[in-house]
Amino acid sequence: MSPDDNDGVAVRHPYRWVVLLLCWGAFTMTAVDRSTWGPASVAVGEDLGVALAGLGVFATGYYVGYVISNACGGFLTDWLGGRVVIASTLFVAGGFMVLFGETDSVALGIAFQAGVGVFAGCDYSAGVKLISRWFPAEDRGFAMGVFMTATSLGTVIANAIVPGLIEASGWRTSYHVFGVASMVVAVLCFFLLRNGSAPRTADRRELPGLAPLVRNRDLFLLGLAGFGGLWGTYGFITWSNALMVKGSHVSPVQAGVVVVIFGVAAVVAKPLIGVVSDLIGGRRKALTIAVLGAFVVALLVFGTADSLTAFLWTAPFLGVAAYVYSPLMVALIPKLSGVRLAGSAAGATNAFWQLGSTVVPVVLGIVFDATHSFFATFATLAAGPLLGMVLMLGVREDRAAPADAEGELPTSGTPGNLPPEASSQV
């Protein structure tokens, strides 16, 4: 079987763990960059003279850029290869983080946030493509679960570190620190990543044909369902700190602790849900529906809480429900699209998903400003995963991917060594 026939999906080489580690590291840094806004938002608003209801515009600026990069990043990944895309875009995103930490202008601040988003979204589709190449289908649930811990771990890191940095030296320091760290990780990815174990396929620079994706009803439904899920997840990340501080009068540090617990629970749960889905034969639709339903309930329960103790008890359950649907959905993507177009499919579906992240910060700001109701704001959040749960019912999990896109190499090969030609890949 030639590489062209099987799309270069990798055998189980030990190097696949290096690929997973680097992709995870890059994705974690963009997640930290994104999550920094939550604990820093109040301080930024006070420094730049922006009212609470207006803070959502900064987050929306980021997510507008993030949607654009997801829509384009997957296509670039299938065309140019994951290594170049993940390293170059992460480096530039880090640069915009540093610039945001220097701004005194609201307009420039929104523009710099959009710049971070434009370049931060590409590492997701590049990571999905690289992991799909290096991990056989039967192992992808766990691999994607580990990869997707990055989003929740980013929330943990930001909420654990940023409040302290703000108290010690101001909000600008956090953007400088995480921006430089992103650039360092980008350099490591450039020198250490390889696109796949089939160099002839990986080295081609052919424009990917996207017609099969345009006609794929199940990917479309998956994209809309993820829109609802991320409406809830990133609406919580963007607004939970400010809402707890302003709506329930807990301190910023205490609010950060709540969100850290929220994120830690997700970090632990994501690989576990991937393992469960692998053990039951890759059946991920039913698990996704169940998790989204639990997410709706958890948001409503959190919205009724009115004390730090109640927030602390609810946070781990909400953290699990708010995140573990994502590795299940991501593991479905190469199954529905085939590995050949996995980057484009991941980027396109995530662009839909991130539209929820783009709209929800402004909507929640309007709802809270109009009602001053903590519960009404969280009920608005819960509408997203409820929609996602309904849409997932229409996804046909057994739909076969294109025959030339999902074939896999045998899993014997030379497990102890990379193919000699792999070292020459871009």
By the 8 A CB rule, do 129 and 346 touch?
Answer: yes
- Which DSSP letter does residue 388 get? H
Phi then psi dihedrals of residue 373, to 5 deg: -110, 120
Q: What is the pLDDT of residue 39?
A: 86
Distance, in Å, from the CA atom of 359 to the CA atom of 336, rounded to the nearest integer, reads 27
Q: What is the CA radius of gyration of the chain?
A: 21
Single-letter residue type at 271? P
Residues 6+ apart with CB under 8 A from 97: 33, 36, 116, 175, 176, 178, 179, 182
Q: pTM score, two decimals?
A: 0.70
pLDDT in tens, the chain (426 residues): 333 333 444 467 888 899 999 999 999 999 999 889 888 888 998 898 887 767 878 887 887 888 788 778 878 888 888 899 999 999 999 999 999 999 988 899 999 999 999 998 888 889 988 998 888 877 788 888 889 888 878 878 988 899 889 988 899 999 999 999 999 999 999 999 987 654 444 445 555 556 666 677 888 888 889 899 989 988 887 788 877 887 677 888 888 888 888 888 888 888 888 888 877 776 788 899 999 999 999 999 988 887 888 889 988 999 899 988 988 888 888 777 766 776 777 777 877 787 777 788 788 888 888 888 888 888 999 999 999 999 999 888 776 555 444 334 333 333 334 433 333 333
Phi then psi dihedrals of residue 393, to 5 deg: -60, -25
Q: What would the two tokens of residue 418 be?
A: 């990379």
By the 8 A CB rule, do 409 and 9 touch?
Answer: yes
From 395, 380, 148, 103, select the one nearest 268 (Cα to Cα): 148
* Displacement of CA 24 from its chain's centroid (Å): 10
Distance, in Å, from the CA atom of 1 to the CA atom of 363, rounded to the nearest integer, reads 52
Residues in the chain, overall count: 426
Q: Domains in the chain and their CATH numbers?
A: 8-196+216-398 (1.20.1250.20)
